Amino acid sequence: MKKNSGSDDIVDLWWEDEKGFAVPKSPSHSLQLLNRHMRTNLLLHVHRDVRTAMESDPKKSPLHHLARSLERIVREARAGVKVETVTKNPMHVDPHREFDSAEDCAHDLNLMKHHLRCHKKTIDEIRRWKSGG
């Protein structure tokens, strides 16, 4: 992992994994990163799913809702995304980027899997901490 900041005395939230994806530090940070870096409208499914989950089970943490949402969307996408129905994410960090639905879907799935791994790791760390181990 590497830091993007050159200053050692500033806490850096932008750690990256080996693929260059920023490591999310909280559910809101994760959504911020997904909003900026997902290239397709699969992002809308994430938002819709999290909102529905939070309304139906408000006692669960946003971290759990986001992880469950990402897991469900990745699973459904593996079963088959109709690439021709996917559109460009208007909030992408580079609005002038050429849209390629197949390539951009693959990118977004990898990005969502990365966020899901990060969230599962955090959930496991919290469970270990709560259990005293």
Q: What is the pLDDT of residue 6?
A: 47
pLDDT (tens digit per residue) in 56-75: 999 999 999 999 999 999 98
What's the pTM?
A: 0.82
Place of tokens 């005293």: 132
- Please, which pLDDT band fits residue 16 given cuts at 50, 70 and 90? low
Cα separation, 39 vs 108, whole angstroms: 6
Place of tokens 């050692």: 8
Q: Of 55, 52, 27, nearest to 123 (Cα)?
A: 27
Q: How many other CB atoms sit within 10 Å of the CB of residue 37?
A: 19
- Please, which pLDDT band fits residue 85 given cuts at 50, 70 and 90? confident
Place of tokens 């197949």: 102
